[in-house]
């Protein structure tokens, strides 16, 4: 049991720790900045994602705190929440934009309000694209029981949805918030899509885990990507000097990229109707219609002495390279 003397001793020790930390805050480093919590609120942004998902899929997800009886009332109430929070969050992050044209002759809040309404106007377009993504998942996955299962449970579709919601904000020039959105999706799905990437219709991510799609990636229509795929840069050693430079590949229409493949470089173009086999490492362009694969690796099993195992019939089939 603590007594007054012990409590005083603990308080004194704690005060020393507090003073040491406060002193450490005075070193004028980036991490020392203290703006009175005038920063974007990640929890609010995540909540907006869920409310926007409710709006994208009105018959699948709903906010249980709302007791409403019509679609109009439900959508109106959720949009009011989204609009209020979006304006506040955009107002905060606009200070990161140097020379923001929107701010010329307008307050940050007025500018944020315009951006927020412009963004909400894109929801029908976002829904149009997501409908094609659901269809692509159903068409491309024989394990899918129905489209409801895809909407409720597929991490790949969730990551694509959040990307599409974030991409429109990114396109409108909103800093920080789109990246917070896609990194949240990354944390819960294992799929890392930069909001700056350009992705066409009927995009299907199967399994999802470990996928990376970089900022300047361009993806056409009807592209299918499996787990562990990287669409990345050849090198980022140039750091900030590479900002606004196309560093990531272009994937044309009707391309399938199987698990573990890496396609790197801003000048790398994968032509339409190409199939990229599992674990391929590509840094040069591939012409349309090609099939790219890694040839058989010798399998050996050691039972005291090395013995080469003959390839089975299935392993000799070229489809074996397209690991799912």
Q: Where in the chain is the domain with CATH 1.10.3130.10?
A: 36-190
Look at domain 36-190 and name its CATH class. mainly alpha
Greater confidence, 20 or 113?
113
Greater confidence, 19 or 314?
19
| pLDDT over 90 (residue 166) | yes
| pLDDT over 60 (residue 36) | no
Per-residue pLDDT at 296? 67
* N-terminal to C-terminal alpha carbon distance within the chain: 60
Buried b (16+ CB within 10 A) or exposed e, 176-213: bbbbbbbbbbbeebbbbbbbbbebbbbbbbbbbeebbb
- pLDDT by residue (tens digit) across 134-147? 999 999 998 889 99
| Cβ proximity of 277 and 291 under 8 Å | yes
Per-residue pLDDT at 229? 97
| pLDDT over 70 (residue 213) | yes
**Which residue from 290, 298, 301 is spatially nearest to 316, judged by alpha carbons?**
298
Q: Model-level pTM greater than 0.85?
A: no
| Mean pLDDT computed over 116-130 | 96
Token pair for 226: 């499996």
- Give the SS3 label for residue 275: strand
Greater confidence, 47 or 59?
47
What DSSP character marks residue 244? T
> pLDDT category, 253, cuts 50, 70, 90?
very high
Q: Which residues contact 203 (CB under 8 A, 6 or more apart)?
A: 132, 133, 136, 160, 219, 223, 225
Per-residue pLDDT at 21? 86
Per-residue pLDDT at 146? 93
- pLDDT by residue (tens digit) across 217-243? 999 999 999 999 999 998 766 677 667
Q: Where in the chain is the domain with CATH 2.160.10.10?
A: 197-296+303-324
| Beta-bridge partner residues of 306 | 302
Per-residue pLDDT at 244? 76
Per-residue pLDDT at 72? 76
Question: What distance in Å separates the CA atoms of residue 137 and residue 156, rounded to the nearest whole number?
Answer: 9
| Cβ proximity of 251 and 272 under 8 Å | no
Per-residue pLDDT at 314? 45
| Mean pLDDT computed over 41-66 | 84
Per-residue pLDDT at 26? 81
| pLDDT over 50 (residue 209) | yes
Per CATH, domain 197-296+303-324 is 1.10.3720.10: no
| Cβ proximity of 189 and 158 under 8 Å | yes
| Mean pLDDT computed over 59-70 | 64
Count Cβ atoms within 10 A of the Cβ of residue 230 and give its class: 0-12 exposed, 13-18 middle, 19 or more buried.
buried
To the nearest 10°, report the CA torsion of 121, 122, 126, 129.
120
DSSP characters over 94-122: GGGSTT-GGGTTS-HHHHHHHHHHHHHTT
Task: Determine which of 69-73, 112-116, 172-176 has the lowest per-residue pLDDT on average.
Answer: 69-73
- pLDDT by residue (tens digit) across 179-201? 999 999 999 999 999 999 999 99
| Beta-bridge partner residues of 276 | 257, 292
| Beta-bridge partner residues of 270 | 251, 286
Buried b (16+ CB within 10 A) or exposed e, 62-84: eeeeeeeeeeeebeeebbebbbe
Mean pLDDT of the residues in the chain: 86
Token pair for 139: 């068409």
Per-residue pLDDT at 262? 96
- pLDDT by residue (tens digit) across 14-31? 888 888 888 888 888 877
């Amino acid at each position: 049991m603590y007594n007054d003397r012990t409590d005083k001793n603990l308080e004194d020790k704690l005060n020393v720790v507090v003073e040491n930390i406060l002193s450490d805050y005075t070193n004028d480093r980036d991490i020392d900045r203290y703006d009175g919590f005038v920063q974007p609120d990640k929890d609010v942004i995540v909540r907006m994602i869920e409310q926007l998902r409710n709006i994208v899929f009105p018959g699948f997800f709903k906010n249980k705190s709302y007791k409403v009886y019509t679609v109009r009332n439900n959508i109106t109430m959720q949009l009011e929440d989204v609009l209020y929070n979006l304006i506040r969050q955009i107002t905060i992050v606009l200070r990161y934009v140097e020379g923001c044209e929107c701010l010329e002759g307008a307050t940050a809040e007025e500018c944020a309000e315009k951006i927020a309404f412009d963004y909400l106007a894109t929801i029908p377009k976002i829904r149009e694209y997501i409908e094609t993504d659901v269809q692509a998942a159903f068409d491309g996955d024989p394990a899918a029981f129905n489209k409801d299962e895809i909407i409720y449970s597929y991490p790949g579709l969730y990551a694509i949805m959040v990307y599409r919601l974030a991409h429109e904000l990114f396109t409108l020039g909103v800093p920080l918030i789109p990246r917070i959105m896609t990194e949240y999706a990354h944390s819960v799905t294992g799929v890392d899509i930069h909001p700056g990437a350009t992705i066409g219709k009927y995009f299907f991510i199967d399994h999802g885990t470990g996928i990376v799609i970089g900022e300047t990636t361009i993806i056409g229509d009807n592209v299918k990507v499996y787990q562990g795929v990287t669409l990345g840069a050849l090198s980022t050693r140039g750091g900030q000097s590479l900002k606004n430079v196309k560093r990531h590949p272009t994937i044309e229409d009707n391309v399938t990229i199987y698990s573990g493949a890496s396609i790197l470089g801003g000048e790398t173009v994968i032509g339409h109707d190409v199939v990229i086999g599992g674990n391929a490492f590509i840094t040069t362009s591939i012409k349309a219609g090609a099939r790219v694969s890694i040839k058989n690796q010798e399998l050996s099993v050691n039972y005291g002495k090395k013995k080469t195992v003959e390839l089975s019939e299935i392993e000799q089939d070229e489809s074996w390279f397209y690991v799912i």
